[in-house]
């Protein structure tokens, strides 16, 4: 008798910028991948706010059924990466450096964990340029020899879906992008 062989899903390391955004992104990925979240966001200021967002990411993972890795909070390295760009407007050059900082850390972590795919929840935000994020992700993919999934999660009403799902779960949603320069 013919038996269909089940293969395990490939793993993807998902950079999670915040718990609410991870909900709809996880929903899009989970049929094809085993998702592991990586909350690498030393851009978030102050530490108390970082704690709230990290907790929301863990809650999203616990509710939907995926593991979230939370590294040590290291804002000094991030501040070095964006040095000289403090006065840039949101969406400008500082944000490109910020995306790169978090995506490069994700690519490095994926290599360390033996995961061949990485991607990010960042493209679900209507305020963030998916093209810029794709350019950075593809560059890192070449540099590190792992696959960047260039999926535009804001398509198919992704952001709207994340608002609905995160409200349902009762997740904390932040009121500013993250860094001290985006706060006021």
What's the token pair of residue 2? 């013919």
State the nearest-atom distance from the C-beta of 177 to ligand SF4, in Å: 3
**43 and 178 in contact (C-beta within 8 Å)?**
yes
Pick from 86, 90, 131, 152: which binds ligand SF4 (CB under 6 A)? 90
121 binds ligand SF4 (CB under 6 A): no
140 binds ligand SF4 (CB under 6 A): no
Tally of CA atoms within 13 A in the half-sphere of 84 that contains its CB: 3
Pick from 95, 103, 136, 171: which binds ligand SF4 (CB under 6 A)? 95
136 binds ligand SF4 (CB under 6 A): no
Among 106, 123, 148, smallest CA distance to 15 is for 106
Largest CA distance in the chain: 68
State the nearest-atom distance from the C-beta of 76 to ligand SF4, in Å: 15
Tally of CA atoms within 13 A in the half-sphere of 101 that contains its CB: 23
177 binds ligand SF4 (CB under 6 A): yes
Bond from prior residue into 129 cis (ω within 30 degrees of 0): no
State the nearest-atom distance from the C-beta of 172 to ligand SF4, in Å: 17
182 binds ligand SF4 (CB under 6 A): yes
Stretch that binds ligand SF4, among 30-38, 93-101, 154-162, 163-171 (CB under 6 A): 93-101
Tell which phi-psi region holds residue 48, choosing left (phi > 0), alpha (psi between -120 and 50) or beta: alpha
43 binds ligand SF4 (CB under 6 A): yes
Contact residues: ligand SF4, CB under 6 A: 43, 90, 94-95, 98, 177-179, 181-182
């Amino acid at each position: 008798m013919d038996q269909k062989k089940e293969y395990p899903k490939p793993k993807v390391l998902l950079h999670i910028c915040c718990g609410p955004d991870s909900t709809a992104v996880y929903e899009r990925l989970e049929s094809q991948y085993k998702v592991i979240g990586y909350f690498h966001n030393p851009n978030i200021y102050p530490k108390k706010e970082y704690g709230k967002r990290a907790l929301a990411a863990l809650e999203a993972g616990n509710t939907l059924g995926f593991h979230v890795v939370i590294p040590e909070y290291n804002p000094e390295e991030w501040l070095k990466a964006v040095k000289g760009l403090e006065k840039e407007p949101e969406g400008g050059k500082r944000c490109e450096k910020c995306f790169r900082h978090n995506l490069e850390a994700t690519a490095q972590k994926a290599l360390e964990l033996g995961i061949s795919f990485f991607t990010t929840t960042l493209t679900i935000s209507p305020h963030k340029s998916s093209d810029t994020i794709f350019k950075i992700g593809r560059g890192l993919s070449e540099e590190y020899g792992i696959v960047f999934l260039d999926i535009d999660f804001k398509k198919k009403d992704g952001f709207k879906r994340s608002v609905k799902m995160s409200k349902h779960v009762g997740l904390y949603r932040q009121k500013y992008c993250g860094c001290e320069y985006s706060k006021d």
